Amino acid sequence: MINALTFDVEEYFHAEAFAGVVDPRDWATLESRVVGTTERILMLLEEARVAATFFVLGWVADRYPSLVRAIGRGGHEVASHGYGHQMITRLSRAEFAEDIRRGKGAVEDAAGTAVIGYRAPTFSVVRETLWSLDILAEAGFRYDSSIFPIVHDRYGIPDAPRFPHQRPVGDGSAIGELDRRRGPVAGAGGRRGVLPPSPVRADAAGAALPERDRAAARHRVPAFVGARHRPTPLAGGPVDPVPALREHPRSGIEAAAAREGLPLWTRA
């Protein structure tokens, strides 16, 4: 079993919980925390000698290209999280195609390497948006990590496989098959690799946490890594770097964080 550790690189104000509170036009006016939190995660990974995949938002890559390069220098894979952190369920096909084109380009320009992996904002590849896999394949992505095999009010395909698998795309081309040991390799025509972000397991016996506890558990993974925790084998372990540092600027989004039960720590 191959363990796969992944991180979404975005700002605290990009979270979907704040979509109705923070206008994207105001993002540039808010205090940034993404560099410090991500650098701390990179330090922990280096100490633990662990490699990971970082799904970087294009908006972040445009503003902090040196951070993207630091991720690559650390021996980690740099992948795409789109550009504007909009759920696919709110986008037309044309809007989605433009978002991933822009996001892929921003990350590739910053990293200086090709980007072949993608994770949708808020895991929004759901049954109604499976068409997005066709567009990802057309854009040159060779694997996706957006289908969460759980029941959730915003995302998830409950009966999706929990482990790497293939899903057909519409053009019949040879997209490739995901192999986390060597990266995507040539596979059957008309299929693409999918790395599902599995529910976090928190105990030695591998017992899955109740759904209400999984979001909070995701934010404890950096501490596990720093303590050289040996994770239970999973298909993927997504973590947002935002809460890894217990400092955040105070703002009007705190009320939204409280409603969502998010661990948005602020200065005393």
Sorted by where each begins, the domain ranges of the chain are 5-260
pLDDT for residue 150: 84
Distance CA 7, CA 41 (A): 9
Residue 84's nearest CA partner among 103, 109, 110 is 103
Residue 219's nearest CA partner among 235, 204, 200 is 200
Distance CA 176, CA 185 (A): 6
Per-residue pLDDT 10s for the chain (268 aa) are 667 899 999 999 999 888 888 899 999 999 999 999 999 999 999 999 999 999 999 999 999 999 999 999 999 999 999 999 999 999 999 999 999 999 999 999 999 999 999 999 999 999 999 999 999 999 999 999 998 888 888 888 898 888 788 888 876 653 332 433 334 332 333 444 556 665 443 333 333 333 434 444 443 333 334 333 343 333 444 555 554 444 555 555 666 666 666 655 443 2
Distance CA 200, CA 238 (A): 8
CA distances for 13 relative to 99, 120, 206, 258, angstroms: 18, 17, 32, 14
pLDDT for residue 141: 93
Distance CA 137, CA 143 (A): 8
pLDDT for residue 246: 47
CATH class of the domain whose range is 5-260:
alpha beta
Distance CA 28, CA 15 (A): 15
- The DSSP string of the chain is ----EEEEE--GGGSGGGTTTS-GGGGGGSPP-HHHHHHHHHHHHHHHT---EEEE-HHHHHH-HHHHHHHHHTTPEEEE--SS---GGGS-HHHHHHHHHHHHHHHHHHHSS---EE--GGG---GGGTHHHHHHHHTT--EE-----S--SS---TTS-SS-EEEE-TT-----B--TTT--B---TTEEEE---PPPB-STT-PBPPHHHHHHHHTTHHHHHHTT--PPP-S-EEE-SGGGSS-----TTHHHHHHHT-------
Distance CA 139, CA 191 (A): 14
CA distances for 152 relative to 80, 86, 242, angstroms: 23, 18, 21
